[in-house]
Each structure stands twice: as C-alpha cells, then as structure tokens.
C-alpha cells in the first residue's frame, strides 16, 4: 500500500517537472489548486478496495509534504508577491 502510494505520488512529480517554472511557482502559491484535485483524483481512481484507498491516502499525504517543501526550496508566486526559494538564490 505504501509503495503503491509513492508510485501514485511520483506521477504528480513527473507532471510538475514538465511544467514551465512560472506555472510551477503559481501552483505552489496556490497549494489548494494542486493538493485538492490530486487527492480527489487519487481517491476516485482507487475507490473500492482498502489497499487502494490507503495508497490514495499515502499519495495525498506525500503531495501535501511535497508542496510544503517545494514552497521552501523553489519558492512561489501568490498573486501579489514572488517569494524566492532556497534554490532560486
């Protein structure tokens, strides 16, 4: 279950990696637009079995932590301010 959750989470990493940096910073500035649709999609796709729901839960938790860490490392743009991350300096 945990390994499956990490594999589902890696699909988000690949999608984020392919986006332009400006869009990534905008998404990180609005974390609800990133976390909520991904979590809902993971739960809907894995509905029906306990192991599927636990994999979706692990993926959703990983996305939450990824978003928080990426905001620190990459930075974000929240509409008013462009906050630089550690790697942006």
84 vs 6 pLDDT, higher one: 6
Q: Cα 13 vs. chain centroid, distance in angstroms?
A: 7
89 domain residue, yes or no: no
Q: Which of 89, 88, 55 is nearest to 25 (CA)?
A: 88
**Which residue in the block uniquely carries the two structure tokens 């938790």?**
61
Tell me which residue range forms the domain holding 26: 2-84
The rounded percent of the chain whose pLDDT value lies above 90 is: 9
pLDDT value at residue 65: 92
pLDDT value at residue 7: 86
| Residue 89: band (very low, low, confident or very high) from pLDDT cuts 50, 70, 90 | low
Q: CB-based burial of residue 79 (10 Å sphere; 0-12 exposed, 13-18 middle, 19+ buried)?
A: exposed
Contact between 9 and 59 (Cβ < 8 Å): yes
Domain count, the chain: 1
Cα separation, 59 vs 64, in Å, equals: 9
45 domain residue, yes or no: yes
64 domain residue, yes or no: yes
């Amino acid at each position: 279950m945990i390994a499956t959750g990490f594999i589902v989470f890696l699909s988000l990493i690949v999608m984020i990696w392919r986006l332009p940096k400006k869009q990534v910073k905008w998404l990180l500035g609005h974390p609800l637009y990133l976390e909520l649709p991904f979590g809902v999609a993971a739960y809907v796709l894995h509905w029906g079995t306990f192991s599927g729901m636990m994999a979706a839960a692990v993926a959703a938790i990983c996305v939450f932590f990824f978003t928080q860490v990426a905001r620190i490392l990459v930075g974000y743009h929240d509409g008013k301010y462009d906050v630089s991350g550690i790697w942006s300096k």
